[in-house]
Chains A and B, each alone.
Chain A
Amino acid sequence: MKLTGIKILILVLVAICAISLIVPRRYFWNPIKGTAAMIIAPAQKVLNTSASSVFGFFSTISRISQLAKENESLREERDKLLSEKVKLLEDEKENEILRQQLNFQKKNPFKLVPGQVIAKDPTNIQETFSIDVGANDGVKESMPVISSGMMVGKVSEVGPTSSKVLLITNPNSIVNGMLQESRAYGLVRGELGYGLIMDSIPQDTKINVSDLVVTSGLGGNYPKGLILGEVTEIISKQGEIFQSATLRPILDFNKLELVFVILGVE
């Protein structure tokens, strides 16, 4: 059999794949992926930015009437939030005085690094995306990723100039969550299609639709108090020890453009 250039190339590629199946991912595949990402990331960034502005423009045009209604309801919400803000500022001052009196340490702010979303997975099988910050910016595997104070996911792969983020909605993601109202703990799992489900909630816990679920800080993987989503449905069966709840993430993960990686506390 005559070996043409293409056949040799295919054999080389098969050999690469075979080696990658045997040798641990971090020693063989990850450096190759990191280098490829470093070369391709600038092109991805340019294309993604242009596509996002073009599609954003058309999406705005097609939703003008809906946006007008949304604007009206947001104005009402803003007025409501303004009065709440005044109350919260008063509470904060009071809290500060009490902390000083009790000699409590102030909560440390996070050390963040901003990252722009540059690409998504080629198919929707794995809910992941790439950001333009990597090991050179201090990013390490498993670091939490947030946006507007809400939990987005964790860093799953790190290259020199880019990283991959595994969303909390990935079916393989598990986060320790807590219902903000009742303070009950549970496990928040991802579901395909940007959904979340919180299970292992004690049966005697009172859950209401639209209750907020935040990270509990248990396990030490994620900081406490980051919003995971709001309850949309309660699944409770008599005779079972635990109940569960379906959550809706408040962030639209499909439209994320800028995220922050938590490097640590300052």
Chain B
Amino acid sequence: MTIRHLFVVLTLISITNIIYAQGRDDGSFYSRYGVGELVSFASSQAQALGGASAGLFSYNYMNFSNPGTWSRQTLVRVAIGAQFHRLEALDAVGRSEQFTRGNFNAIQIGVPLIAGKLGMGVSYEPFSRIHYQVSTNNSVSVSPREGEFAYRVNHEGSGGLHQARIGLGFKLTSWASIGATADILFGIIEEGRRTTFERLDLLETNLVNTTRLFGVSSTAGVTLSFDSEEYEFVTTLTATLPTSLDGTRNLTLGESLNVDTLETSTDGTLELPTKLLGGVAFSYQNRWLISTEVRYEPWSSASTTVPLNAFNSTYLRDRVRYSMGVEFIPAGASLQSSYLSRTAYRLGFYRDRLYVSPVPGRDVVVTAITGGLGLPTLFFGTRVDLSFEIGTRGSTNYNLIRDRFIGVSATLNIGERWFVKRRLG
């Protein structure tokens, strides 16, 4: 890797952090619960296929949901993407609001250590996001003499967990590959409650719960592929070990007081459940690709001694996510066809039962359709992927909220040979 390459990667990291920072506090209210809204980004290809990533086994994309696919690399790959999200939330009494935000998806780097045999993957991506703001105007009666005191309470949450991952994928046989990663989970969850009174003789309070979490996990995957000249059939299984995150929680009081720590910090542990991911993909003549995936995460067994909203068995649900997608490239593997023929056209859908619900016993389900384009560039191995998703999250039953969202994302997938030995002729 040259200095220029390093410079580009570092610049991308800093820019994506700016994007991420700008996208705080203006998303779904459901992100208030548990550790926030879970996020996963296997690849930009998978994103447009409804997230059905498990079985994707490609030379053109690194599949970060399954390290068992990382053996199939011949180029150094860097993928970085960002997303633009628009959300319309409606609650049970008819209040609605629209939110817009931008955030980064991930930075992913794949390096072929032995081309087509052993590959390494490194990524940094969000694991969960908390980004909500809710406010209300209210009044309180202090006494008949004092009358009503008007005030405003602003609830806001931000932060989330991040995941840094490094791992290897190894081709065992012509039809079997395995891989494993070490995953570092870390992050800060901030939940604030700001109370402001109209009267000047009353103090503004800003109570902020800050929870810092850190833990290490591991993911292992196995990929079986059976192919001929015309087709390839891939089936995979990935498992992430239960993860124990060490947490520290501080409650602080800010603003107009000169004392700002209410309590000493509280230490605890957050136990995340096992994650199982299975998928099947079938490709035909390098033109057609069908991918399906099932994800299962038994969150009802999760527990915490660090207080988090609704993080207990009453509210936690077992997460089940189904997804499926289809990709069509008219030109197949041909590099001589027209631009439109070399473009990948993708369509998919998913259904995701969230791992936590604000109302006990009630599921919150996300359903969405996805799609996108994989645009070839003038540079061999490099593509720009555009994708979208349109869906709903939850319903207005049981005082819940229905989110309608539309997301548009763009990801740059750079593929180059970085480690070529120069030969004197």
Do chains A and B stick together as partners? Answer: no
